[in-house]
Structure 1
């Protein structure tokens, strides 16, 4: 592929590799609009910009997410409002979103976490009741479906990350998918400085383009995705069998009619029932050179820019505040071998 890039004499600016990968993404995600970006954060910034929201208005999202979700709201001149998560899925809770809506609310950002899909029907009902658009941060949900429908078809837009840590990656990269083919032109201008031609700029745009090397990596990686997912499904079964009988260790939720992306394998450790904390397990694994992730911890409202903000919940205490110190993502990829699995099991079963 490098030879093809050198022969084309195009390293960026919508080159042949870019065009081919974008077409393959449109087919894979079954989305009328699927447009590549240089990273997921720029894609999320652009998706919000596409909505033309009132400056200073409020966008409701979850605190249990990567900081970029909240940052994209602020960089658009908007105010993030954090609503609680559902205890079963750890995704944005529709009832808490309803509590968080004010006259200043302009949009909702749901986040599909760990491969678990948001309650898209519940969130859509709340959004429709108040006339609000929904964007989904789908960084963890590449390839996921609900009732056979790809996640890219839900909401006003879905934003994917193709960072190197993701199931499908272009080293760095991202994508906006929407169910409306008419979005393509607007997103194109927003992604490319608003340039119409050599002499005209018609939109205040940003540089969100993917270069040809990134696109080539994506074209090489896409055929490998399904085999990796198969291996991760098998790993999921092994983890569930090894850890399923442990009191105080909650396995990932199994959602009806959902094909999981197989991005992460999170467990929730209740220290009172399990007898050890999440951090105890994390450190014991680390001593064996096994690196799990306290993901997400800290949550957004623990970070300096958002520390003054509360989490709005229909419960007496936000569940996000409780679960943030209990979630642990175990190693979840085809490189996990039998020795790793034995060590992980030993740590969890240690007295």
Structure 2
């Protein structure tokens, strides 16, 4: 049997159908129906956030945040992230300026941000890498000093807390992905989060064509609304979120035990961060060693994934900034297969293959 880097959690089909039945009874499939509103209410309570809006995918919230905050010119960001972080900046007509990452935390190195700021800089877009919190206090201090907006890409951060509160409560806007590969998912989907009511209202208008009621408009907008079909999946998955989280936590503990003492670098969790066990990334001594392990695993029908490779500085529509740490880690990092019900026997096999290659 093929073992991929992750496996989508599928709730019992009858539970999904029960939620879909509500949509059928309401004859309402889109335009913020009962299921979307129910899911938002449950997620706000579970995550401990003030304002959030569900969207049809996890990239649109980044683009809408940039548009709503009226970001122009240069945006300081990380080259160690999924491509959506940078493509959203370019898509909105801004210029990404890369700052290197911390060699232990793998998040944007806050000590290097100020030297990259120019008169054209208007925002910082940082990624909480693999659910590990950025140094949000330092970033906010820099933003306040230079009058910059802060957007966090928290695609990997569902359920993560930092110093006792949701990681989504930091920055002007935070975003999350609810893609099928995530801990919590709606098939495709996402959300933005903010603590500012006025900003929330503006973001909301932008995600629904600018509609202010049926016959009036409030500025420019786009269609980013989540459908009832997506929300039904989210509600069915949410009913199992505790068992999903606990299953992943146990699987991570097994990997920790199996790989203890191996010459592998692991991400350093920032103090105050509660993990969500979304990924299990390891960094090898060299790219050659990684490729050797990858080949050996593939031979046994096991397919880990190289997150985040290649380094985003290599995209042909950006300007590189010689972020040597990000470039080096991106060549040597690999995420091992992980989901809530992965077999410990499969984990043992993966560990043995890695051990044999080191």
Instruction: Please say whether Structure 1 and Structure 2 have the same fold, judged by a TM-score greater than 0.5.
Output: yes
Alignment deviations for residues 267-308 of structure 1 (CA, whole Å, 9 cap, x no partner): 111139xxx5111111211111111110000121112222xx
Separation (CA, whole Å) in 2 of partners of 1:194 and 1:285: 49
In 2, the alpha carbon distance for the partners of 1:163 and 1:146 equals: 23
3-state DSSP of counterpart to 1:73 = helix
Q: Which has the higher contact order (CA 8 A, sep 6+)?
A: 2
C-alpha distance after superposition, 1:239-267 (max 9, x if no partner): 111112012x1123233221112111101
- Gap runs ≥5 in structure 2: 1-18
Cα–Cα, structure 1 residues 186 and 333, in superposed 2: closer, same or farther, change >3 Å?
A: same
Following superposition, the deviation at residue 61 of structure 1 comes to 0.6
- Name the structure 2 match of 1:58: 74
Q: Which one of 200, 203, 206 corresponds to residue 184 of structure 1?
A: 200
Give CA deviations for 1:97-149 in whole Å, capped at 9, x if unaligned.
22211110000011011121111122122222211111100000110001111
The separation in 2 between residues aligned to 1:29 and 1:49, in whole angstroms, is 25
Q: 1:1-351 maps to which residues of 2 (within 5 A)? A: 1-54=19-72, 57-247=73-263, 249-271=264-286, 277-306=289-318, 309-311=319-321, 318-350=324-356
- How big is the alpha-carbon RMSD for the aligned residues of Structure 1 and Structure 2? 1.5
2-structure distance, mates of 1:68, 1:169? 18
Please give the TM-score of this superposition, normalised by the length of structure 1. Answer: 0.93
1-side partners of 2:344 and 2:54: how far apart?
Answer: 37
Distance 1:250 1:49 in 2: 38
* Secondary structure, counterpart of 2:197 in structure 1: coil
Is contact 2:59–2:88 with CA below 8 Å preserved after alignment? yes
Shift of 1:182: 2.6
Residue 224 (structure 1) shift = 1.6
Matches of 1:41 and 1:207 in 2, distance apart?
12
Post-superposition offset of 1:206: 0.2
Q: Could you say what secondary structure the match of 1:252 adopts?
A: coil
Q: Is the 8 A contact 2:57 2:177 kept in 1?
A: yes
Question: Does the 8 A contact of 1:33 with 1:183 survive in 2?
Answer: no
After the TM superposition, list the runs of 4 or more consecutive aligned residues in structure 1 that deviate by more than 6 angstroms: none
- The structural deviation recorded for 1:175 is 0.3
TM-score by length of 2: 0.91
Q: Is the contact between residue 100 and residue 312 of structure 1 (CA under 8 Å) also seen in structure 2?
A: no
- 2:9 maps to what in 1? none
Offset at residue 163 of structure 1 (A) = 0.5
Cα distance in 2, alignment partners of residues 332 and 99 from structure 1: 38
Shift of 1:312: 5.7
CA contact (8 A) 1:112 1:141 kept: yes
Q: How many residues align?
A: 339
- Deviation, 1:195, is 1.3
Unaligned runs of at least 5 residues, structure 1:
none
